Amino acid sequence: MLIEAYFARGGVANSRVEAITPESLPRISVRKPFANSIPELAILTSHLDAIGMACQSGHETAVIMEDDVRSRYVFDALTLISSAPHDWEILQLHVSNRPVVLELGEMYLRHGVLWHEWEPTCYSAGAYVINRKGAARILSHYRPNGTDIDLTGVHAFGKLVADHLLYRRSCCYTATIPYFMNDIALTSTHAPHRDETHHRPGALGVESIMQQIESQAVAGSGHARPLLQAGYPFALRAL
């Protein structure tokens, strides 16, 4: 698996969660009418499975990643987490919406801001950190009996998608620095049109911000000045 090879290269311990498919969906209760596709509900369920696994692991925090996101660095996760607001439950590490990627990056480059309260335009559940409190909140709300999915409390037409449902029900902050990007060599299986509208443009936006941050670090200027050796905020080493 590509993502497992990526983790192996970085020496990162990980567990793979088997994806839920439309054929393996558990019982789901939704408010009708709804505009989302069955594959989108399957993706949401896969995330809930991953969050449940994280909760059962006994660890205080977990990084949950979809298998089509990548990074160029191995990060110091503890330092990254310690930089977040104290009340965080989920930290979003990947955004696929190019204009928002650039806007968030400018917050860091110009003002040194590391985290911003999540907003609905911050698309993507591609990579995020979740703590035990956040995991328990999400599971109790959407999977109260531990098996079935209950979305009847969602009054957001067309928003039965993983990012919106996870982040809106938790204290979520989005990283202004783009730690992850979509692997543009891959194609989406459930929404291939988003490859051209979001994934590829978003990845190019990440590259642009990364280059600017690295340039600041090398030049010893701006908010990236202390990062001269790492070349990227909280980076331990390049992959």
Does the structure show a pLDDT above 90 at 82? Answer: yes
With H, G, I as helix, E, B as strand and everything else as coil, classify residue 142: helix
Share of the chain above pLDDT 90, in %: 64
Predicted confidence at residue 237, as pLDDT, reads: 81
100-116 mean pLDDT: 95
Q: Which 3-state string (H, E, C) describes 77-108?
A: HHHHHHCCCCCCCEEECCCCCHHHHHHHHHHH
206-211 mean pLDDT: 92
Considering only residues 168 and 184, tell me which one the structure prediction assigns the higher pLDDT: 168
Q: How confident is the model at residue 25 (pLDDT cuts 50, 70, 90)?
A: very high
* Domains along the sequence of the chain with CATH: 16-230 (3.90.550)
**What are 92's strand-pairing partners?**
128, 174
Predicted confidence at residue 192, as pLDDT, reads: 56
How many Cβ atoms are within 10 Å of 42's Cβ, its own excluded? 18
Q: How confident is the model at residue 186 (pLDDT cuts 50, 70, 90)?
A: low
pLDDT tens digits, residue range 148-164?
999 999 998 889 999 99
Distance CA 164, CA 23 (A): 23
Lowest mean pLDDT among 3-17, 125-139, 216-230: 216-230
Question: Tokens 């409390």 label which residue?
Answer: 153
Predicted confidence at residue 223, as pLDDT, reads: 59
